[in-house]
Amino acid sequence: MNRTLLAFLIGLLIGLVLFLYSIVRYSKLKKEFGKSEKRSEEKINEYKKMLSDRMELENESLTKLKKENEEMKAKIDNMRISLEVLAQKPGRKELQRLDVYNRAIERLYVENPGFATVWQVALNKSEEEMRLAFLGSVPLIRRFVKGRSSQGSVDADVTEE
């Protein structure tokens, strides 16, 4: 019995030591868990603040982009209107017509090789006629005749274009 009592007391002593060790360990873990929980809450609050700051920045940049977009749309609209106004100014249609004629001539040069010589002859004759019209007796005759008969031809030229 003596041995059994001794074994019982040793077992009881070992159990008490383990129990005390687990209580001390539990209290330390509880303190650490409380600290880590506070740290976690602090981290969560920090992340929330970072997120709200980022959302504010993105909202500001989005607002700025929308404003720039509206300004660009207004500029494009103004440029379109200005282009339409410039296209309607006197002389623009004639310049556009000359550009079309120039492109057509270039196309004919490429597509019809014999056209170049015929065109050059016709161009030289037309230039000579224009030179004579501005320098010689033709302008004097035109001024005299213009007063009587050119009114009908000028009206016809305007209605053709």
What is the DSSP code string of 26-83? HHHHHHHHHHHHHHHHHHHHHHHHHHHHHHHHHHHHHHHHHHHHHHHHHHHHHHHHHH
Identify the burial level of 70 via C-beta atoms within 10 angstroms of its C-beta, where 0-12 means exposed, 13-18 middle and 19 or more buried. exposed
Rounded CA-CA distance 145/41 in Å is 102
Helix axis angle for 115-135 and 138-160, nearest 10°, is: 120
pTM score: 0.35
What range defines the domain where residue 121 resides? 101-145
| Non-local CB neighbours of 92 within 8 Å, separated by 6+ positions | 86
* 107 within a domain of the structure (yes/no): yes
What is the number of structural domains in the chain? 1
Amino acid at site 88: Q
* 112 within a domain of the structure (yes/no): yes
* 32 within a domain of the structure (yes/no): no
* 64 within a domain of the structure (yes/no): no
Predicted pLDDT of residue 35: 72
* 30 within a domain of the structure (yes/no): no
Predicted pLDDT of residue 149: 52
* 121 within a domain of the structure (yes/no): yes
Structure tokens at 114: 């014999």
* 105 within a domain of the structure (yes/no): yes
| Tens place of pLDDT per residue across the chain (161 aa) | 688 888 889 999 999 999 999 999 988 888 777 777 777 888 889 999 999 999 999 999 999 999 999 999 999 999 988 888 877 776 777 777 888 888 888 887 778 877 777 878 888 888 787 777 667 665 556 666 665 554 444 444 433 43
Q: Under a CB-based contact definition with an 8 Å cutoff, are residues 119 and 112 in contact? A: no
